[in-house]
Structure 1
């Protein structure tokens, strides 16, 4: 079911509709998002493209974990 949600979310976005997604699977979201916002205690801690955030050492350490490093 999760795979289908991501497929359909991406399809809707490619059709020109903006999508705001709140998801626990941050690594997966960063793979498909144009922009990401990482909140910490309700405040925006990091902002960037999905690619930028998924490579940011601090984001990896605090939110994605060591598995994100490959």
Structure 2
């Protein structure tokens, strides 16, 4: 199943694998739970300060 969702937190919680795209290019791919805890992903897509 392909899920295209603007709510990054919802998408990462629902998925097993995730692909992060920027300007049409895949910039990050991997386990969704790991991405949810990645400081760069959190800062860029969840609006949180990177730890």
Which protein has the bigger strand share?
Answer: 2
Ranges in structure 2 where 5+ consecutive residues have no aligned partner = none
TM-score normalized by structure 1?
0.65
Matched residue pairs, number?
A: 49
Partner SS, residue 62 of structure 1: helix
Which protein has the bigger helix share?
Answer: 1
Higher Cα Rg: structure 1 or 2?
1
TM-score normalized by structure 2?
0.86
In 2, Cα distance between equivalents of 1:65 and 1:48 = 20
| Residue aligning to 2:22 | 40
Runs of 4+ in 1 over 2 A off after TM superposition: none
Deviations 1:21-63 (A, max 9, x none): 1010110010010100010010001111110110111111111
Ranges in structure 1 where 5+ consecutive residues have no aligned partner = 1-18
Question: Which structure exhibits the higher relative contact order, with contacts defined as CA atoms closer than 8 Å and separated by 6 or more residues?
Answer: 2
